[in-house]
Homo-oligomer: A and B are copies of this chain.
Amino acid sequence: MTVPTGRRERKKAATRQKIADTALRLFLERGYEAVGIREVAAEADIAVTTLFSHFASKEALVFEQDADFERALTRAVTERAPGEPLVPALRREIHALVRHCTAEGAAPVQHMIDESPALRRYEESMRLRHAESLATALLADPARTATPLACRTLARFTVDAYALAREAPEPEAAVDEIFRMIEGAWGVAAGAGTGSGATGS
- Interface size of A by CB at 8 A reads 29
- Chain B residue nearest to A127 (CB atoms) is B124
In the complex, A153→B168 CA distance in Å? 11
* Copies of this chain held together in the complex: 2
Stretch at the interface among A12-20, A63-71, A93-101, A181-189: A181-189
- Interface assignment of A55: CB less than 8 Å from any CB of chain B: no
In angstroms, how far is the closest chain B Cβ from the Cβ of A12? 26
Partner of A177, one of B150, B174, B181: B150
In angstroms, how far is the closest chain B Cβ from the Cβ of A72? 21
In angstroms, how far is the closest chain B Cβ from the Cβ of A156? 5
Check if A185 sits within 8 Å of B177, measured CB to CB: no
- Interface assignment of A46: CB less than 8 Å from any CB of chain B: no
In the complex, A156→B150 CA distance in Å? 16
Contact string against B for A residues 132-169, beta-carbon threshold 8 Å, 1 for contact and 0 otherwise = 00000000000000010110110011001101100010
Check if B147 sits within 8 Å of A177, measured CB to CB: yes
Contact string against B for A residues 115-128, beta-carbon threshold 8 Å, 1 for contact and 0 otherwise = 00000010011001
Q: List 21 A-B contacts (CB under 8 A).
A: A121-B121, A121-B125, A125-B125, A149-B174, A149-B178, A152-B164, A153-B160, A153-B161, A153-B164, A153-B178, A153-B181, A156-B163, A177-B189, A180-B188, A181-B185, A181-B186, A181-B189, A183-B188, A184-B187, A184-B189, A185-B185
